[in-house]
Amino acid sequence: MLIIGSHVGYKKDSGLVGSVKEALSYDANTFMFYTGAPQNTIRSSIDLENVKEAYKLMQDNGIDKNNVIVHAPYIINLANGDESKFNFSCNFLSEELKRVNTLGMKYLVLHPGSHVGQGVDIGISNIIKALNKVLSNDESDVMILLETMAGKGSELGKTFEELKQIIDGIKKKERIGICLDTCHLNDAGYDLNNFNEVLDSFDKIIGIDKIKCIHINDSKNSLGSHKDRHENVGKGTIGLDNLINIINNSKLKDVPKILETPYIDGKAPYKEEIALIRSKI
Ligand code: FE
Ligand code: FE
Ligand code: ZN
């Protein structure tokens, strides 16, 4: 069965119930949310009654909690070795893992980090150090999904080799998975016209079984542009056929697909995009 949804809001007042209702309004059977604003680390406490009500709503409407994804805020940068920034990022990630666990979800998507001029190898070793530190102090089974990045600025995780290098350094490997992002793959230089080859290469380097989420986005920019600007489904350089081909891949059948495409005239495009995708499956 196609597991598809989108990024949805998570607000202080409506909490997880609000997120589920928004997902249902798009005819989605999963969703992804940030536990607060994506660009800051202000987080309010979780109302367990609200969470209970959200689970009832999910159950009644065929949303399996194991397919729901949480995204960590962009501001966490585990690759920056500056001591106070490094500690801030580690502490926030620890708290975020606790929140995800309290909310009852299984997956937390994380941008691996940007080396901010310190170089790829130092950046990667900082990420490894941070993840080992955070995971050694966390008893939950929440899995951190490292996202494939576009390679904008000094972003790490723009190649499968870099992601593999990170995973190799992790002690609790069972706690690390991967989130593919189609816009990022394109912008990083992976040609999605040949998705089977891209996936084969991923499988050889990391292993398909590590893929636990796929962000479905078209791209405003060309192959290898390192830009990271998402476009609506079928409106960009990747194109509808390639996105459908990825969504339809039998090896990725059970992996939740999440839209992070831009709003159109201030309105979420997800209901229409989900309907479009369903019509092509
Ligand atoms: Fe992301
Ligand atoms: Fe993404
Ligand atoms: Zn992006």
- Domain parsing of the chain, residue ranges: 4-280
Instruction: List per-residue pLDDT tens for the chain, 281 residues long.
Output: 999 999 999 999 999 999 999 999 999 999 999 998 888 888 989 999 999 999 999 999 999 999 999 999 988 999 999 999 999 999 999 999 999 999 999 999 999 999 999 999 999 999 999 999 999 999 999 999 999 999 999 999 999 999 999 999 999 999 999 999 999 999 999 999 999 999 999 999 999 999 999 999 999 999 999 999 999 999 999 999 999 999 999 999 999 999 999 999 999 999 999 999 999 99
Return the pLDDT at 202. Answer: 99
Question: Which residues sit opposite 5 in a β-bridge?
Answer: 30, 258
Return the pLDDT at 38. Answer: 82
Q: Work out the number of other CB atoms within 10 angstroms of the CB of residue 218.
A: 26
Distance from residue 281's CA to the centre of ligand 1 (Å): 25
Rounded Cα gap, residues 199 and 208, in angstroms: 8
> What angle, rounded to 10 degrees, do the helices at 240-247 and 195-205 form?
40
Distance from residue 129's CA to the centre of ligand 3 (Å): 25
- Alpha carbon separation from 202 to 57, 193, 196, 206 (Å, rounded): 36, 15, 10, 6
CATH superfamily of 4-280: Divalent-metal-dependent TIM barrel enzymes (3.20.20.150)
Distance from residue 229's CA to the centre of ligand 2 (Å): 10
15 token code pair: 């909490």
156 token code pair: 């790490």
Distance from residue 109's CA to the centre of ligand 2 (Å): 9
Beta 218-219 vs 211-216: how paired, if at all?
A: unpaired
The answer to whether the CB of 40 falls within 8 A of the CB of 78 is: no
Distance from residue 70's CA to the centre of ligand 2 (Å): 12
Which helix (H) or strand (E) segment is 117 a member of?
none
Return the pLDDT at 42. Answer: 85
